Each structure stands twice: as C-alpha cells, then as structure tokens.
Chains A and B, each alone.
Chain A
Amino acid sequence: QSALTQTASVSGSPGQSITISCTGTSSDVGGNNYVSWYQQHPGKAPKLMIYDVTNRPSGVSNRFSGSKSGNTASLTISGLQAEDEADYYCSSYTSSSTQVFGGGTKLTVL
C-alpha cells in the first residue's frame, strides 16, 4: 500500500484559514468514511483532531474541520493561531482492513 499524498508544507498568518489535502485511492480515502487527522507538535505524540472525515473529538476546537471529495480528504483550520503550528497527518482505514498515513504537512504560522 502506498502512503497517502499530502502537501509537504503550508503557511498562513494569524486569523487566516488554511486547508491541507490528503489524496489516496478508492481502496482507502475514496472507499469509505474512515479518515482521521492528527496534529503533532515537536517531540510529542500525535493528537487526534478529526475522525470519520468530519467529526471532532471532545475538546478539539471548532476551528478545525474536515471534509472529503472523491479520493481527497481535507483539513481546514480557520482563525489560525500560533499554537496551530505543527505537523499534520491524515490516516485512512483501507479496504484490506489495514491503515495508511499521509506523508505529513508542516504548518507554519507566519
């Protein structure tokens, strides 16, 4: 299985919105609604931000939202804040009952 494709880096100014994309295939992202997104600060474990494409766990800011179209899922962060600067990873459950991550996107808040 191949890793999901994410843009390597994205940047935005405080208050702006950014979108991170995650492209897979019909065997993973496009084949179900089992896509999740993780935020990882340096030296820390990943934190679940979005599950099942669009849902936020309790405690995650509503500035984070997820969507999907075809084989591409997206994470949008609105009202960027300095603490949003981190690496973001998508993950999908596949038709083979395995899991696959994206390569990660480094978000810089200017």
Chain B
Amino acid sequence: QVQLQESGPGLVKPSQTLSLTCTDSGGSMGSGSYYWSWIRQPAGKGLEWIGHIYTSGYASGSTKYNPSLKSRVTISVDTSKNQFSLNLSSVTAADTAVYYCARFPKGTYYGMDVWGQGTTVTVSS
C-alpha cells in the first residue's frame, strides 16, 4: 500500500528556513504518473495549498506555487530516494501549521488520493 511520510524539524526559529521531506514508500515518484503536493493547515483553520512538483524520466522538477507564498517556497524532488522536499524561507509565526504531503495522478483525474499523516511545525524562538 502506498504511503507518504513527512519528516523534518518540529520547531523552526523566526526568519529561518523551514525544510521538510516527504518519502514515498510506494516508489512511484519517478514514474511520471503523479504530481506531488505540499499542503498546510494552521491549528483550527482550513487547508492551504502550498505548491506541487511534477517529475518523470523526461521532465524533471516542473513546479507550481501558491502565488501568496511563491517568493518564499521551493519544492524539489530526488527520485533516487523517492523523496520530495519543501523549503519555506523567512518563516514567521504565521507559518506554524500541520504540513501535509499528497499526490494526485497526472492526466487521469484530479484528486489527491494519497496523503501523509502530517507533521506539525512550530515557528518560535
């Protein structure tokens, strides 16, 4: 069964860079069959799409970002490790949230069918 697992520091200082990794246990990251997304959710609030990346053997690392976060976000992928990563720079308390990774199929349907369990990141000094 495909599983995604987020990992990374649970505490980040203000103005620093938040870095998270999502590992795909199903090994499908290099298949070219999926977009790989990051989504976050502040406590008691709704879901916010951060960005996604698409990669295949031919097109590596095509990204799209939420315009409101674009200047601070970088998503990258390492297919050899079945991982994709999120870097969010210049963080503030407003970036405190549960961060999820998820995937949706390319070219078949739109819906994020597999999600990680989420990881809580707190921005505090």
Contacts and interface: CB of A to CB of B under 8 A. Distances in A.
User: B48, B49, B66 — which one has the most chain A CB atoms within 10 A of its CB?
Assistant: B49
A46 interface: yes
Nearest to B115: A45
B100 A45 contact: yes
A45 to B, nearest CB: 4
Contacts, number: 65
Given A46-B100, A98-B64, A51 B109 contact: yes
Contacts of A3: 46
A66 B102 CA distance: 22
Interface string B58-99: 000000111110000000000000000000000000000000
B102 to A, nearest CB: 8
Nearest to B35: A99
In terms of DSSP, what is the predominant structure of the interface of chain A?
strand
8 nearest A-B pairs in the assembled complex, by CB-CB distance: A51-B111, A34-B110, A36-B111, A104-B46, A45-B115, A99-B49, A101-B47, A48-B111
B113 A57 contact: yes
B118 interface: yes
A45 B113 CA distance: 11
B19 to A, nearest CB: 21
A32 B42 CA distance: 29
Interface stretch (A10-18, A76-84, A89-97): A89-97
A34 B110 CA distance: 5
Interface residues of A, number: 28
A41 B109 CA distance: 24
B122 interface: no
A100 B111 contact: no
Contacts of B100: 45-46
A34 B49 CA distance: 15
Given A46-B47, A89-B47, A52 B66 contact: no
A98 B46 contact: no
Given A38-B112, A89-B47, A93-B110, 17 more contacts: A3-B46, A34-B110, A40-B47, A45-B117, A46-B47, A57-B113, A91-B47, A91-B112, A97-B64, A98-B64, A98-B65, A98-B67, A99-B37, A101-B39, A101-B48, A101-B49, A103-B46
